[in-house]
Amino acid sequence: MTGQSPPDTTPGANSPWRDRRLTPAERADALVPLMTLEEKIAQLVGVWAGADPSGTASPRARPT
């Protein structure tokens, strides 16, 4: 064993938009072309996963 951490296999882990050495503009330039239209629209209006269009957490997304 070399004492090194195993490689991060999280999807997108080695993607440029996660590279903190890049400027925010460079990171955005790398990410935006890969986003779907729906993801871009969600960013404009603040619709997040688990929220309805009003921004309220949907019953499915609330912890039980």
Q: Note the pLDDT of residue 6.
A: 61
Q: Note the pLDDT of residue 45.
A: 75
pLDDT digits (tens, 9 = 90+) for 4-37: 766 666 666 688 989 999 999 999 999 999 999 9
Q: What is the dihedral of CA 55, 56, 58, 64, to 10 degrees?
A: 140
pLDDT digits (tens, 9 = 90+) for 35-63: 999 888 888 876 566 666 666 666 655 55
User: Under 8 Å CB-to-CB from 43, ≥6 apart: which residues?
Assistant: 35
The DSSP bridge partners found for residue 51 are 57
Determine the Cα–Cα distance for residues 36 and 60; give it in Å rounded to an integer: 23
